[in-house]
Amino acid sequence: MLKVLNISPSDLSLSSSLLLIFVVDNIGHAPISTNIQSINDVYKFLLKPFLFLLSPEKAHYFTLFMLRLTLSIPGLSALFRAQYRVQDPRLRRKVLGLTFENPVGLAAGFDKDGKYFRDMASLGFGFIELGTVTPKGQVGNPQPRLFRLPADEALINRMGFNNEGVEALVSRLQTQRPEGLIIGGNIGKNKVTPNESATDDYVACFEALFPHVDYFVVNVSSPNTPNLRALQDKGPLTQLLSTLQDLNHQKSAPKPILLKIAPDLTDGQLDDILEIVQETKIAGIIATNTTISRADLRESPQRIEAIGNGGLSGQPVKQRSTEVIRYLSKRSNGKFTIIGVGGIQTAADAIEKLEAGADLVQIYTGLIYEGPALVKNINKAILQKRN
């Protein structure tokens, strides 16, 4: 099969190999996974250990390329949907005034520029959040800037809002989207924009994307843009969100605006967030972004030090993310929407966040460690929980 596609093993990413296996198993060739319970077992136990030797960023982009290539084969898109999508009216959620076909979404950062959301929709997501996007394109931080921590089932990234700019994203959103798919727009500021002028960047992205997305996420919590997290302070954050809400209410049909927060906030800072939500009347919170903490990691201190700065995602952030969700939900009496993200590696992790008070959940790092069947597994577990 590799010879047919003229792809050497050194050029294969984790998911691209999985996709090739899926193709072979589903278009009439001899099954590769005969002695294994599922394609996801092939992903986790045969391919991942070898393919994790490749650089994470190269693997990411090649994975997306191979997904698109695979789905271009006649009939494969339908096979993917049949394999991964769980269609059941009991999964449907009415949240933010929108109807989500299921509560599992793809977190921001995976498809920053809107190049692959149609392909990723074939994996069964109920919604996909694009970005973070900035007014002008920027290359982000120097490579390497993405690192796996296999012992912790985690990633460290310091991507730095690398994206092609909001107009490039808008151009890709002007074509028809997959039926029923909810699209979110995660917006940020350019690195060269001082915090005093940050509101202008968020306004530019908001206005450009408004006709093309279903909801907005204001990202002031990434640790990879200098001084960005200072915008989480009560004064500047209130001013930023109030400005966006004023613009929003001038529209004939305002759209939900959510705030993405860091897991590193203290309870006092979370109380400030609650007051800001109440004052500005934004629709909700996404909890949480990546953490700057390196506590209790299994990876060696030497390697962690060698990697350096960046946001940590995956299993190590799971507990704190859930704590933040529970705190916000209880203190607000469930008065606003919470989207839970951070450390969802299993269906049980997702259900834990929903039970803590999240209305919807998002995944990213879990896809890398658990494979594309994670979306289906979460939705099936939600249905089992309802029985």
Question: So which residues are the catalytic ones?
Answer: 222
Distance CA 282, CA 248 (A): 10
Phi, psi values for residue 259, rounded to 5°: -115, 130
Q: Which of 313, 322, 50 is CA-nearest to residue 159?
A: 313
Residue pair 371/47 in contact by the 8 Å Cβ criterion: no
Residue pair 144/57 in contact by the 8 Å Cβ criterion: yes
End-to-end CA distance of the chain: 42
**The pairing of beta strand 93-95 with beta strand 98-100:** antiparallel
- Which residues fall within 8 angstroms of residue 311, CB to CB, at 6 or more apart? 156, 157, 158, 222, 223, 224, 289, 290, 291, 292
DSSP state of 260: E
Q: How many helices (H) and strands (E) does the chain have?
A: 16, 13
Phi, psi values for residue 336, rounded to 5°: -135, 165
